[in-house]
Chains A and B, each alone.
Chain A
Amino acid sequence: MKRSFYKCLLWLHPAGFRDRFADEMLWIFDETGGQGPRPFTDVLISLLRQWTFHSGVWRIAFGALASCLLLAGWWHFQEAALASALRRGNPGALKEIKHRHASGMPCVGASGDVIRAAETESGRAGSQVDTGGCDVADGVQGIVAAFQHHRVVMIGEVHGLEPTGEFYRRLIRDRKFQETVQDIVVEFASRNNQALLDRYIAGRDLPIGEVRHIWRDTTKVASWESPIYPQWLAAIRDVNKGLPPSRRLRVLAGDTAVDWRKIYTHADWEALGDNNVSFADVIVNEVLRRGHRALVVLGTNHVTKSGDRNGDEDTTTRVESRYPGSTYVVLLDNRGLLGPPAQELVRLHRVSQNEPILCELAGTPLGDFPVNHGTPLSNKADALLYLGPPETLTRAFPPAGSLEPTYMKEVDRRSMIEWGELRDRKLLGAAAE
């Protein structure tokens, strides 16, 4: 009876603490026969501490109170900004005013006459997605803020883009990011190379021929030759040199372990299985069970909230099934959904020009925008990351002819195994010549 009650109290602890320590605490209870120094009082106090101070609940309560006090001033500021945007002919502002007017909601600074006059003046055709109304923040600070309520922030990237590489390097150099996040999970390294990755990130001097195995030997053939990935690893290594050991960022290899010396046929390669299983495994066991926070960078199809493009389980759905609410999904806006109105957002929300923008989607018109078979965008992601118009999102390739012939011979072999053709040559372009 006493043991069962003690077990219940352990079960009530937060999942991270429970996964780490509950077994040991129960063993100690058994060893002492439940007689120790007031075991039930001790574990009740521990329970209270974990849920109030360690989980940050007190911060949430304090934040809610502060938010209520600031609400009136914030509302006035928003109304003034909206009225100002309307006067400048902002189409998003016009839509917002019309929506409020139709719904009978307060429209400070705008009447029916103002709306009709604005419609006449703008004569807007509406060819662009109307993105008025999404919660905008500076890209770096927006992602750091997401960690307040989610232990895993997942960025769905398009591989090898120069602006994303710059953004990642910028993100890890941010002091608040360094103070908040412990781990970075990447797709461009396989788990069998974790020890090599650890040595490199720890600052060991290793020959480049050895370090390259990190991004060259993954299950995805010829996919990680873009210089943005080694540049990012080098930047993390550099940042870690200035951090105390307990605060250093750890890079976790997420891809399925693979030894290409033992892969001879397409069947061998297929037997490696779905790497979403591996990504989710690493996130659950190395991050969440340890009570850590992690930035996860994977291809878009691995992270969308509603599953992959076929509606099957992806990394996010697998993690959420075990740790509900733990993830926050950010997709790169590579379709120009924010487009020119992004500049209006910049002025409206006082975000600096030419800086990355994070656009939160929940409850906004942009979140309702249908993508892929009519699914609202907010079903796929929590936010969009805007790094510039689509024409500026260029891929970074290694220099022409820079890939060694012996390596290219092996990549050709792997390409034939995976695709039955030399698709690697198309992917690598001039670098493979």
Chain B
Amino acid sequence: MKEEVTAMLPLSPAALHILLALAGEDRHGYGIIKEVARQSEGHYKLGSGTLYDNLEKLMDRGLVKEATARSGKGEPARRHYRLTDFGRRVLEADLVRLKRVLRESRLHLRAAESGKVS
């Protein structure tokens, strides 16, 4: 089981943002794009081509699945996407990996600033 999670890492930036956007709730495609823009404060802009390319892969690998279509007030039913348990584990594992990268980079940057290059 752990090997399957590890085999999915590292996630591409687009895949990471998509899984993060779905971590809180099910969303449709446009909802994912808006949530990614919000979470990244506009720094990461996801186009629909990139979104669905990645969604196709994520669904084929079992990280995301379709949820029951829901409709807003007066709107037609839109297909929503949901993070699977397996997808959640992969996302958590990638976040652990990113935390390590962040920690290492802070250590090295701090050392460089103080002149103590190892």
Q: A-side interface residues toward B, CB under 8 Å?
A: 17, 20-21, 24-25, 27-29, 31-32, 36-39, 41-47, 49-50, 54, 244-247, 291
Contact = CB atoms under 8 A, between A and B. Distances in A.
B50 A45 contact: yes
Contacts of B55: 21
B29 interface: yes
Nearest to A244: B4
B16 interface: no
B23 interface: no
Interface string B62-78: 11000000000000001
A291 B56 contact: yes
Q: Interface on chain A toward B: helix, strand, loop, or mixed SS?
A: helix
B33 A25 contact: no
Contacts of A54: 53, 56
Interface residues on chain B, size class: 20 to 34
B52 A21 contact: yes
A41 to B, nearest CB: 8
Contacts of B115: none
A163 B50 CA distance: 48
Given A31-B30, A244-B4, A244-B62, A50 B46 contact: no
B29 A24 contact: yes
Given A21-B55, A291-B56, A36 B33 contact: yes
30 contacts: A17-B52, A17-B56, A20-B52, A21-B52, A21-B55, A24-B28, A24-B30, A27-B29, A27-B78, A28-B29, A28-B30, A28-B33, A32-B30, A36-B47, A37-B46, A42-B49, A43-B47, A43-B48, A43-B49, A44-B49, A46-B47, A46-B52, A46-B53, A54-B53, A54-B56, A246-B61, A246-B63, A247-B62, A291-B56, A291-B60
A50 B54 CA distance: 11
B56 A36 contact: no
Nearest to B56: A17
B53 A36 contact: no
Nearest to A27: B30
Contacts of A21: 29, 52, 55-56
A291 B56 CA distance: 9
Nearest 8 pairs of A and B residues by beta carbon: A246-B62, A42-B47, A46-B49, A37-B45, A42-B49, A43-B49, A21-B52, A25-B48
A141 B86 CA distance: 31
A43 B29 CA distance: 15
B24 to A, nearest CB: 20
B108 interface: no
B56 A49 contact: no
A162 to B, nearest CB: 36
B48 A39 contact: yes
Contacts, number: 76
Nearest to A39: B47
Interface in B54-107: 55-56, 60-63, 78-79, 84, 86
A247 B4 CA distance: 11
B71 to A, nearest CB: 13
A21 B57 CA distance: 13
A244 B1 CA distance: 8
Contacts of B1: 244
Contact of A245 (B49, B53, B56, B86): B86
A27 B48 CA distance: 10
A226 B21 CA distance: 50
B56 to A, nearest CB: 6
Given A21-B55, A46-B53, A246-B86, A28 B48 contact: yes
Contacts of A27: 29-30, 78
Contacts of A25: 29, 48-49, 52
Nearest to B46: A37
Nearest to B30: A28
A39 B62 CA distance: 27
Nearest to A30: B30
Contact of A24 (B45, B53, B62, B79): B79
Nearest to A20: B56
A280 B78 CA distance: 27
Given A17-B56, A46-B49, 8 more contacts: A21-B56, A24-B52, A25-B49, A41-B47, A45-B50, A46-B50, A245-B62, A245-B86
Contacts of B62: 244-247
Contact of A45 (B33, B49, B78, B84): B49
Contacts of B47: 36-39, 41-43, 46
Nearest to B5: A244
B76 to A, nearest CB: 9
A39 B29 CA distance: 14
Contacts of A36: 33, 45, 47-48
